[in-house]
Structure 1
């Protein structure tokens, strides 16, 4: 009799869990962006939130939890209940944090369930408007000549601009003076004010300033030239062979989130990436959505693993770590 009671209880629990998964979502979903509002990652998150809200029938709320290069917000999601109501939208820093932080309290590879890739955002190498170089070749020559007299801004340890700057110094075989800021906004403000020399940042943040001439643009960090910035050469064609950095973004749930919920979120994300407004807005910013095949849990999990392996030697070679 006791055994039958236990079986009945287990079946009731399973039935209730299955029903909860099939009814998901029944309340608003919070997407944690681990950076301040107004930055490139925040822009991407708010773009996809609206069509995902329509698809899921519940409000997708963006919450900015900045600090520690994105690790504070990521940790919050890693330790959240795996019920699909707390998600993480992070950029390439999700991969590089595995090597950058010696005392990371979570595992980027093990503590998250991938939902899907969102977009690859190209990077541009820009300078203050009154910087003397007029071409990427002149910029490279100036960097190699002046070295630590050159100031290179970034949005903080672990930011994409920081990673791009490390790769640039490694590729050119020189060290400049890096100037970390608490976010992309302050870094761009000082570039616009001619307080620092150069910055490598996402097109979502630089395209408008390039168009108005408020900054000087030298190159893009993609394999091919961009349709939105056709006059800018790639670093590869400028002589820095193999130089490529893209600020990819992905959507994650905590590890252990039931597969039916992950699949429902992935379907909503895929729909958002086909939304004409999302496509048009990303195009304005020099970016585009990933393919439908890439906006899947399996694709993101593999891409994350590959990126962790790619950036580990770059970070170790630079010897730059954060506690």
Structure 2
């Protein structure tokens, strides 16, 4: 009799546990992107949406909300219903840089729960194919000779491209004009047209234009060379030292989302990142796929927030 009661009790507990699990997803899931279509964040978000739609049997849709240094998408996610149906595909632009430059109506640390790191990619110094410089030394010489002729593009004020551009000017002893856009795709068009000469874009965004011969890559802004651009030197190797920049992409969900939904998203994202085709696509964009735990990513997110805060203060970078 005791054995029968034990079996029945176990069955009841399992049934209750199953009922306690939050059904997910129960409606379309939005993947919010703080930049325009065609940029690195958008490319990664659409890849994740495709994989999550397949595995979680739901409808995962990318929504582009460019502007305000990627914080519009973050704001919408922070204020969404905490049910896991609004996700944010973010970069350090919106999570670690913009909060120190823009007055926000949300707290990027408290109001967004980290799901996982997707990939880290180098920023690469590129110039248009019509710029008569084939290396950093030649570019610096041209910029010193005719400073009024050089503008650098970014995907927005406060973006990693913006911070990298300011850092390069200081380290190389040159001066260029910052031209912000709402996303990398728009900036690319003006670089190709010759209206803007320089950009410190992510390899994930710039690789297509580099392969097409429309951009000339002169240096990567990381300590090591990019596996996808092995013949492109680092800035330090090219003679300009003093700063480095990379861009990371991660997934967040609205704070207060049920723990089992958060855990399911964390497990699923980790599984997707390890898929051979996803690894190949991320590496093809010049990135290093994320391989840290959600807890490690949470600590990294906070450390990056603090690091960029110090950097922005030291460089006296302000919004125009």
Runs of 4+ in 1 over 6 A off after TM superposition: 15-18
For normalisation by structure 2, the TM-score amounts to 0.88
Instruction: Give the SS at the match of 2:36.
Output: coil
Q: Judging changes above 3 Å, is the alpha-carbon distance between structure 1 residues 18 and 168 closer, same or farther for their aligned structure 2 residues?
A: farther
1-structure distance, mates of 2:104, 2:215: 36
2-structure distance, mates of 1:147, 1:314: 25
2-structure distance, mates of 1:158, 1:120: 18
Instruction: Give the SS at the match of 1:24.
Output: coil
Aligned to 2:316: 319
Aligned to 1:91: 91
How far residue 233 of structure 1 moved from its aligned partner, in angstroms, is 0.2
1-structure distance, mates of 2:192, 2:16: 57
Unmatched tracts of structure 2, length 5 or more: 1-14
1-structure distance, mates of 2:128, 2:50: 35
Deviations 1:187-224 (A, max 9, x none): 11111111111111011222222223212220111221
Matches within 5 A, 1:1-323: 19=19, 21-93=21-93, 94-101=95-102, 103-291=103-291, 294=292, 296-322=293-319
How far residue 53 of structure 1 moved from its aligned partner, in angstroms, is 2.4
Instruction: Give the SS at the match of 2:241.
Output: coil
Instruction: Give the SS at the match of 1:23.
Output: coil
Q: Judging changes above 3 Å, is the alpha-carbon distance between structure 1 residues 263 and 147 closer, same or farther for their aligned structure 2 residues?
A: same
Instruction: Give the SS at the match of 1:45.
Output: helix
Cα RMSD over matched residues?
2.2
Instruction: Give the SS at the match of 1:253.
Output: strand
How far residue 242 of structure 1 moved from its aligned partner, in angstroms, is 4.9
Aligned to 1:11: none
Unmatched tracts of structure 1, length 5 or more: 1-14
Q: Tell me if structure 1 keeps the 8 A contact 2:98–2:159.
A: no
2-structure distance, mates of 1:139, 1:190: 18
Q: Tell me if structure 2 keeps the 8 A contact 1:113–1:297.
A: no
1-structure distance, mates of 2:284, 2:261: 32
Number of positions where the alignment pairs a residue of Structure 1 with one of Structure 2 = 305
Q: Tell me if structure 2 keeps the 8 A contact 1:70–1:158.
A: no
Q: Judging changes above 3 Å, is the alpha-carbon distance between structure 1 residues 64 and 19 closer, same or farther for their aligned structure 2 residues?
A: farther
Q: Judging changes above 3 Å, is the alpha-carbon distance between structure 1 residues 88 and 16 closer, same or farther for their aligned structure 2 residues?
A: farther
Q: Tell me if structure 1 keeps the 8 A contact 2:37–2:185.
A: no
